[in-house]
Amino acid sequence: MSHPQPLHLGENMQDLEKMYSKLPTDIKFRPLETICKSARKLIEQSDRHYIDKDEEKAYVGYMRLMMIVQDIRINKEYGRKKRIVTDLLGTQSDFDIILTKLEKLHKSLQARYEEQARRKGLSSAMASPREPSGYIPALPATPQNVEPTVPKVKQTVSATELYAMINDCGVSLLIMDCRSAEDFAASHLRYDYLVNVPEHLLVAGMTSGKLNDALPEKSRMLWSSRMVKEQVVLMDWNTIGIPSQDTSIHVLHYILCHYDQDMESTKIIRLDGGYQSLQLHYPASCTNPSYHPPMAPNNSDGDLREIEYPDIKAIPMKEDSFLRAGFKPPIDRHSKAAAVSLYESLPKLQEILVEHEQILDKSKLNAQEIIKTETELKNLEQESPEPGSVEAQQSLLFTVMELKDRQRDIEAEKARLVREEETYKELEQEQQDRGEQISTEQAEQLEREALKRRLLKKEREERELVELGIQLQREREREEKLALAREQKRLLKENVPEPTKPSYPEERPQYLGGPRLPQFDRSAKPLADHNHNLRARDLDVVQRDFAPVYGTVGRGLTGLKNLGNTCYMNSILQCLSNTYFLNEFFHDSSYKMHLNRNNKTQGKIGEELAAVIKALWTGQYKCIASKNLRYVVGQYERQFGGIEQQDSHEFLTILMDWLHSDLQTIQMQISTSIDKLPPSEKAWVEHFKGKRSYISELFYGQIKSTVKCTRCQNESATYETFSNLSLELPQDFNICNLDNCLDMYFHGEKVRGWYCPECKSNQDAIKKLAISRLPSILVVHFKRFYADPDAIATVYRKKQTLVKFPLSELNMSPYLARTEVNRNKRLTTYRYHLYGVSNHYGSMESGHYTAFCLNNVHQKWFKFDDYNVSSIDASDVQASAAYILFYSCLPDRPQSDVR
């Protein structure tokens, strides 16, 4: 075994630090490719020194390489040329090897210098007067920053200590002020290296990269300097000691420690007492020392045992959920003031009639599309079978389903307009009966009558087209039945058994008259764990094969092939792919730092989803096949591995649990014992068993369930975690608003026979739900499928209710628990905006899933129908096919679009 070469460059580690820390002054201004080529040569030279056992030259070379990498990362061209940097300098695993070598070299050299000093009769302290900074910059994908020596750093500094650091020219310091932008503008510290990271950006799911994008242009340079500063100080208004969960300074510290590969946690300290302490001790260093923020109301009411509803009569009930706009309002025939008020609040009859005419035009065009598609489908079925004809038939049939659902939506809108017309006429008649006349202009009356004549004509034309479309559908269905009967007769005559169904994806779809597939029992809820006894070899994943169809498309506009009724899976994958923060997280290979290899799925679900999302966003494929993801999913939940149609909500719920488990590696920081935590916080920690994940930070929220005794007014509260809200739809309405569905979910309901711990007996009570923790990504599911109570056997039906939901400015603050408002105040700064919809067309027996997604790059809505991707108008997003809505309150849009 060869021995290391003799020491020859220095007497201690400090001498080596002087050698590698001096780089050419003009290196930052050189072209990025030139810097990378120099770094490549340095890697080769250092590798040779390492092989030759020249530890000093190898250490200096590798450390100089890391210094150069630091300059590469702050180069203005780096964002555009990451791939070039990777090609020249190597991959993640290459730099992991270099970091491991550096750690070994440091330990070896440190020991050798100390031994050399002892031989010379010197103390180890003289041999190594001080430890080097040990800062080893890393590429973006580097999972950890290796430090030969980790110095002990205080977690907090006082205002006096910070002031001394500011005035010490030898201290390299960056201060991050995480108060609101308004408070920062009103008063802040006079210091050049001060950056405001507004508190509304500091919400669960944010990363350092997205913080950089969300900051104003002038703040980004200061934010980037955090990589090279020796110390980074965080401050808010007045936090003393360890900050509590969900405060802005806690979230900022968490982001820098866990989702910022540029930062070392040992560099981060907090200002004890916050900016208020600086104002008190050094008012001259503040722009406005007399400024204080307005006092926010304290809604915690801790002394009241977190009483949610002091007055039980103030609890809104579920039966009042559908009294909002969108339903026919009652007319108070005994109150003139009420009638006039309602009359004036309605659109004028002229406007209603104009809108009615527009709806009829839309209905006529849609009916023509149905006739055209039915004719194409009929002609295609009559032609001789050709390769691809089955897929073409399936595509046309899906189009018919979509058009019929759209026709149903138009009918619901027409019914709404008719109700408004009737209400208006009734009110007008009421006014005339009282001897008053609100609209007496003769010209208006003549124009109205002419418009009504046009409406009658268009309604007649529309009815004719609809009847023709129904006739074509019946003829097609009759031909399908005759063809099936002839085939069965031929098989019986020839005494040949009917061929078994092939197990490959090219099987004839159930929608085209083939044997019906087993119905999915949507009443069954997913269990927490499945298939414990899978063999290890069953979990092995073959090499990924996306079977891509090449073609230049926009980023994120790649379709997904249907692998045999996997449209339910494709719909969810496209919505997750367009979840911008999740997309960004999986595009950075550092997500592998957080993979949990000790759980049931061993991190494989997360890896395969990341691979699919990356492929969808290359922009070089028209469509791909998610074969490997489907294979892995099928290993852990066999129902998703077959070719039968499944429920997209069922798939999403299980997938979220898998992804959370695959990435659940981050220990929750608890400032006190778990028993001393507030009830909601304790329930949160216990549900996740003390470990969080990026998925839990994005998608998971918490519901507070309060039961109040009607006799003694005693309250009892429990907490439950959710990844999506499942909302009931009204049974007797064809159209409603999302607000109505939310009201019905969160409003109170009567509970009989509840055991009251205060009364020590069963009592009547009122149970009400509220949100105790809002998620950054809010997923809303509509319960469209239900068991028909009138059917003899268990038969599932579908509610075709058209739900009117906002595309932006969804306000969830009315549904927050009164005692939890402070926790969620930053999430309510920005209202939720819609970015994805999973649609279901057709019925329970035969249906099809698609997705509508807002592409963040193009800022346009697109329809994802398996391998077909097309742009759509935002006005077409609202439809009765909407099954799952994806809302975000994160500022992932351009700042000009965020309100």
Of 797, 802, 798, 850, nearest in space to 395 by CA: 850
Question: Any catalytic annotation for residue 567?
Answer: yes
Of 664, 649, 669, 727, nearest in space to 697 by CA: 664
Instruction: Check: CB of residue 423 under 8 Å from CB of residue 327.
Output: no
- Write 856-862 long-range contacts (CB < 8 A, 24+): 856/556, 856/578, 856/580, 856/892, 856/893, 857/554, 857/555, 857/556, 858/554, 858/556, 858/557, 859/893, 859/894, 859/897, 862/557
Q: Report the distance separating Cα 12 and Cα 568, nearest Å.
A: 64
Instruction: Check: CB of residue 616 under 8 Å from CB of residue 558.
Output: yes
Pairing between β-strand 777-782 and β-strand 882-888 as defined by DSSP bridges:
antiparallel
Instruction: Check: CB of residue 862 under 8 Å from CB of residue 869.
Output: yes
- What value, to the nearest 5°, has the Cα angle with vertex 505 and ends 501 and 506? 75
Task: Find all residues with CB under 8 Å of 366, minimum gap 6, and list them.
Answer: 403, 406, 407, 410
Of 536, 547, 687, nearest in space to 604 by CA: 536
Q: Which helix (H) or strand (E) holds 157?
A: strand 156-157
Sign for the pseudo-dihedral over CA of 376, 380, 386, 387: positive
Kindly name the residue from 106, 575, 848, 853 that is annotated as catalytic. 848
Task: Find all residues with CB under 8 Å of 890, minimum gap 6, and list them.
Answer: 203, 205, 206, 210, 580, 581, 776, 777, 830
User: How far does Cα 353 stand from its chain's mean position?
Assistant: 41
Instruction: Check: CB of residue 804 under 8 Å from CB of residue 815.
Output: no
Q: Report the distance separating Cα 736 and Cα 876, nearest Å.
A: 17
Q: Considering all CA atoms of the chain, what is the largest pairwise distance in Å, rounded to the nearest integer?
A: 117
Instruction: Check: CB of residue 634 under 8 Å from CB of residue 658.
Output: no
Instruction: Check: CB of residue 549 under 8 Å from CB of residue 867.
Output: yes
HEC letters along 839-867: EEEECCCCEEEEEEEEECCCCEEEEEECC
Q: Buried b / exposed e across 26-54, counting CB within 10 Å, b at 16+?
A: eeeeeebeebbebbeebbebbbebbeeeb
Distances (CA, A) of 657 to 629, 781, 870: 15, 16, 31
Q: Report the distance separating Cα 691 and Cα 280, nearest Å.
A: 39
First-to-final CA distance of the chain: 67
- Write 678-686 long-range contacts (CB < 8 A, 24+): 678/306, 679/306, 679/717, 679/719, 680/704, 680/719, 680/772, 680/773, 680/820, 680/823, 681/245, 683/718, 683/719, 683/720, 683/721, 684/719, 684/721, 684/773
Q: Report the distance separating Cα 23 and Cα 26, nearest Å.
A: 9
Kindly name the residue from 178, 567, 853, 889 that is annotated as catalytic. 567
Of 36, 204, 156, 307, nearest in space to 826 by CA: 204
Question: Any catalytic annotation for residue 848?
Answer: yes
Task: Report the half-sphere exposure of 772 (CA within 13 A, side-chain side).
Answer: 24
Tokens 């008063």 found at: 187
Q: Report the distance separating Cα 600 and Cα 538, nearest Å.
A: 13
Q: Report the distance separating Cα 401 and Cα 870, nearest Å.
A: 18
| Count of residues in the chain | 899
Tokens 């599932």 found at: 796
Active site residues: 567, 848
